[in-house]
Each structure stands twice: as C-alpha cells, then as structure tokens.
Amino acid sequence: DNGSPAPADLLGFSAVGVSSADQIVVPEGYSYQVIIPWGTPILGSFPSFSVNSTGADQAEQIGSHHDGMHFYPINGSSEDGLLVLNHEYVEPRLMHASAQGVALSSGATAPLVGGQRPADEVLKEMNAHGVSVVRIVKGVNNEWSVQPDSMNRRITALTPMEIQGPVRGSDFVKTLYSPNGTMTRGTLNNCGNGYTPWGTYMAAEENWAGYFTNKGDNPREHSRYGVSSGSGRWAWELADNGADEFIRFDASIKGADATQDYRNEPVCFGWMVEIDPFDPTSNPKKRTAMGRFGHEGVVFAPAEEGKPVVCYSGDDSRFEYIYKFVTAANYNAATANGSMLDEGTLYVAKFNDDGTGEWLPLVYGQNGLDETNGFTSQADVLVNTRLAADFMGATPMDRPEWGSVDPANGDVYFTLTNNTNRNAGNVNEANPRVANRHGHIIRWKEDGGEQAATTFSWDIFLFGGDSGDSGVDTNIGYDPNGDMLTADNILSSPDGLWIDPDSRVWIQMDSGYRDPFGNCAMLVADPTTGDLKRFLVGPIDQEITGITMTPDQKTLFINVQHPGEGTSPADFATRDYTSNWPDFTPTTRPPRSATVVVWKNDGGVVGS
Ligand code: FEO
Ligand code: CA
Ligand code: CA
Ligand code: CA
C-alpha cells in the first residue's frame, strides 16, 4: 500500500469547468508539460520535424495521432522508463509540404495527380503509423525529455511481423510476401493498447479495413469488416512507383493463387499485436487466438498464480460485440510469456435484460460452429470472428471502446461510446437509449469471483449527456449514483478508460458535440462514492486518449489526438487551422498530436 487515502478522499481535487480554449486545462495545484509531438526525432540521424520531412525521416521520428500508451519503468524507476504509444492514423493534408495530390480526411476520394500518389508521401504516411518506443527521463522541475537509447524504436505499417496462434500457416494468410502464411508487414490503425502480466505491450488493430480496396469478389472475411470497392482510405495502393509494399492494399490484384498476390492481405490485419519493448530486434507478433475484428484495445485482469490469464477486448463499431479470451495454460509468474496467448478460448458477451450475462464460446465444432454453418476450422472461426459471434447470438453494443478491471474487486468496466443508429426496435437493457449520442459505461462482475467464469452479472455505471437544466441537449447524463450530471461532470462519448491502483476510474472523451460539453476532456469517478469530476480539458478539435502513470502514481501521461481535426483543405492552404496546439506557429507547424505529462505540484499522487 502506498498510503492510499480513504475512499471519501479518493478525488481530492477541485473539478475544472468546461473549456473551449485552445489549451490544456488542469486542476488548481497541478502542472503539465507537452512532450513528443508528432515528428519528434527519437533515433537514427534524429531528423528534426518539418512538413518537408521525408518518408525515411518519419521512420526515425514519433508517429502521428497518439493513442493507447504504457509506461514501462526501467529498474522500477518512476523517473526513467520506456514510453510505448500507438499512432492510430494520419492526416495527410497536414503532413506534406503541398496540399496538392493529398488525400482528404474522412475517407473522401483523393484528388490525385495523374491518378497516382507520390510514393514518398505514401511512405511517410505509413511510417507515421504504428507504435513508438521511446526512453524518457525526468529532470529538474519535473520536466521530462527524450533520451537517445538503443531501445528507442519505430514500428510502422511496414515492419515485419509474425503471425502466431491457430491462423498461422493457414491458407487464410498465405500471401506473395509470405507464401507459407507465417509473416506479414506492418500494423495499422493502432487504437487502444494493453499490457500483459509478463511485461509486454499489446497494440490493437481497429479500423484497418478502410485501408484496403477489393474491387473484385470481396469475400466474407473482407466484406463483413467493411473492405470496400472504393479506393483505400488514402489510396496507398495508387503509389506512383508501383512498389509491392504499397500496391498490396488493393486486395483485388490477383495472380495464379494466393501466394502470388494480395487477396489475403486484409486477413493479415484485425488482430492484437504483441510487442516486447525491451527487445528492439524482436518481431511483433499477431496473436490470432484472440480473434479478428476492429480491436479497440485489450485489458488484462490481474493475473492470479495457478489460474488462466483473462483479458477483454471491444470491437468498436455500431452494433458490434465485447469479447473475452481465457488462456488454456495457467499463469506462472516465473515462466509466463506471450505464447500463452496462442492457446485458449475466445468468448463473446451476451447481456441478458435481467442483469445476468453469458460468455458464448467461439470454438470450432461446438454449438453449430462447423461445416453445416460454413465454418471449416478454428482458423476459419477466428478469421471470421464477427460472423461466428453473429451466429452465436451475442449482444450488439453501442460501440465498445476501452475497458479496465478494478484491481480491488475484479469488476470490469467498458465504455460504450455512442450509437446514434440505436432505435426503438433494437434497444435492450444493456443498450437502453434510442439515438445514444453521448454513450454510457457498462460494468460487470464475473460469477463466483472467478475471472474465467462463463456467466456474470452487469449494471450500467453511468450515462454520458447534458445536465437537465442547461437546456442545450435533451440526452441527459447520470452519474454512478443515478444523479443528473452537473457543470462539474457533463461528458459525452466516453472512449478511453483506465482504473488506477487506488480504483480511480479515469474516463476520456471522444465527442463530436461541442455545445454544451466544450473540448474533449478527461474525468475521474470514484466507484465507491459515485463522485465524478472533470480533471483535464484538451485543446480544440481533439480527443483525449491513452493513459498511463509511473509506478509511484505521481506522474500521469495522456495523449491529445488530432487537434484541429475540423480544419478543412481550404484552411490548410492558408495555414488557418481550427487549432494551433501545441506549437502555435501555424506557418511552419500544423497542429500536432502529442503526449501531455501531468503532476501535482505538492508531489502527491495524481488525482488524490
Ligand atoms: Fe480508435 Fe474506437 O477509437
Ligand atoms: Ca478510441
Ligand atoms: Ca476521434
Ligand atoms: Ca473513439
């Protein structure tokens, strides 16, 4: 015990108000520092940031669109460690010297020059994806800085990766690049993360499907995930040098068989990726036993000696599901490693209206998951996880995003960020709001106090929304006590979630609604008292996402993703962005995603 305060004092700070300013707001008595914005050099020749940086430069710099993150202390230190963070996506119109020929945001068709994209711009965009591993140290005045270090690493959309688990070597993942189906290149759209009981990092592949095109047969393992016949998200397949690593994003390019073409490239994505941050030469590993979907992230329950390892993962799309993976082997702290994730049972959640729930196993040969219903092997069930979950009758949720397990009692919390398509015909008790604009947080307890149990009981922890008296929005929010939200805690679209060692529930917003919520913020709840307070507000047109602390809980790290997201192409041409955070020098530096370090001025535990 590190001297945790009594439950009544768990949230010892004064709530900050709603803010629409282009800055970070923290509570009285706290300070912050911005570190490692997109383009910060961390290795190699340490190329400094510029919109003129090349694709090769970007491979030695921090990527863009910071998301899930974890601090790995070196020798247990709270002042020296590896910060490992995801780079979910990019904003091409902000990252090149010229706006010409650059793909637009929001999946719009690119205004291409000659029907192609400059190959180095494509390379730069691919290298701005993935994961960064960067050593950071605390100096005087609590200021953190990047340390040049042999462990600093960029993992990108091009990094060689191993395919592990039941899908390894199957026909589903044989490609021109890896004819025996054991390897693939890169990871994409890494949203939330996880950290394993054995000290590795997990990066989730979320909205990967949009990076591909299939203008041909678009088989179920593509179509059920949203691979379309339009061009890829930023038309990487149209790179003007025709290089294999770029054109592979057109899955309809066909050769004699799968080992001669790109038809299976989309099946190499949609997995959880395990990375050993302390071994910069290791190949990341795609752990296929954990299923293939739009993984938001993964959360491990505290490991118990002699029991299976249990983790949970949401599939962030409207009406998709929450999953649980239970390892076949029991945990042994001395020997546990990532191979535990290659064998086990993947379950999907069914939330009954009476407050009970069931974990439905996705196992080939059981409950009709066999040839009579179109499933030919466990690899097939895993490649088509969403279809297997449909078949089993799982409960479609309001966009499951992050989860966390309360270390005090094993309760599992998941954010359901929003779902405006929920209607009177498909509401249920777990997703009870029609046109759910502002989302909610669901919570469950596994039966019998066993994290691996196949049944559970659930309730709704809180509802996002307005306070009833502001009159701006009729979608009202309620705190964990069922009381209407107030000026201190209105929130919309809970996304990031983390429960700290003292059981503070940190909640991060990703909302498109500005009025009355202001800029996206981070709040904290006390699950014992039901108190809920706004802790931090970010700059304009961003989301707060990613959260980790040092072991002493005196330093908090969060990410600000996509400040200035609302900027239009015309604004780009004039460098007139909706946000200029964090540099405030728009003529040379566009708005940039970055990490924010927060500490309490008196040196106390953050949040206390
Ligand atoms: Fe990448 Fe579901 O947020
Ligand atoms: Ca998210
Ligand atoms: Ca967002
Ligand atoms: Ca989100």
Going from the Cα of 607 to the center of ligand 1, the distance in angstroms, rounded, reads 25
Pairing of strands 285-287, 160-164: parallel
Helix count and strand count (H, E) for the chain? 8, 30
Report pLDDT for 444: 98
In a domain, 107, yes or no: no
Looking at 18-32, 156-170, 468-482, 554-568, which range is the least confident one?
A: 468-482
Phi-psi group of 504: left, alpha or beta (phi > 0 → left; psi -120 to 50 → alpha; rest → beta) = beta
Contact 362, 385 (CB under 8 A): yes
Cα dist. 431→114, 355, 532, 569 in Å? Answer: 48, 12, 21, 37
**Average pLDDT score, the chain:** 95
Contact 1, 521 (CB under 8 A): no
Instruction: Report pLDDT digits (tens) over 520-573.
Output: 999 999 999 999 999 999 999 999 999 999 999 999 999 999 999 988 777 777
Instruction: Report pLDDT digits (tens) over 108-126.
Output: 445 566 778 899 999 999 9
User: Domain containing 137: what range?
Assistant: 7-90+128-208+269-600
Report pLDDT for 472: 83
Backbone angles phi and psi of 142, in degrees to 5? 65, 10
Report pLDDT for 112: 64
Contacts with 425 (C-beta within 8 Å, 6 or more apart), sequence order: none
CATH number at residue 421: 2.120.10.30
Q: Does 162 contact ligand 1 (Cβ within 6 A)?
A: no
In a domain, 605, yes or no: no
In a domain, 238, yes or no: no
Q: Does 296 contact ligand 1 (Cβ within 6 A)?
A: yes
pTM for this entry: 0.97
In a domain, 568, yes or no: yes
In a domain, 490, yes or no: yes
Contact 544, 69 (CB under 8 A): no
Cα dist. 373→163, 220, 279, 290, 292 in Å? Answer: 26, 14, 43, 21, 19
Report pLDDT for 191: 98
Q: Does 315 contact ligand 1 (Cβ within 6 A)?
A: no
Cα dist. 385→208, 324, 364 in Å? Answer: 15, 12, 11
Residue 100 scores a pLDDT above 80: no
Q: Rounding to the nearest 10 degrees, give the CA dihedral for residues 100, 103, 104, 109.
A: 110
In a domain, 380, yes or no: yes
Report pLDDT for 573: 73
In a domain, 608, yes or no: no
The pLDDT confidence band at residue 94, using thresholds 50, 70 and 90, is: confident
In a domain, 115, yes or no: no
Pairing of strands 144-146, 183-185: unpaired
**When comparing pLDDT for 473 and 465, which is higher?**
465
What is the count of structural domains for the chain? 1
Closest ligand 1 atom to residue 417 Cα is 2
Which ligand has the shortest distance to the CA of 87? 1
Mean pLDDT across 75-103: 85
**When comparing pLDDT for 97 and 4, which is higher?**
97
Helix H or strand E segment including 574: helix 569-574
Going from the Cα of 316 to the center of ligand 1, the distance in angstroms, rounded, reads 6
Report pLDDT for 471: 78
Mean pLDDT across 48-67: 97
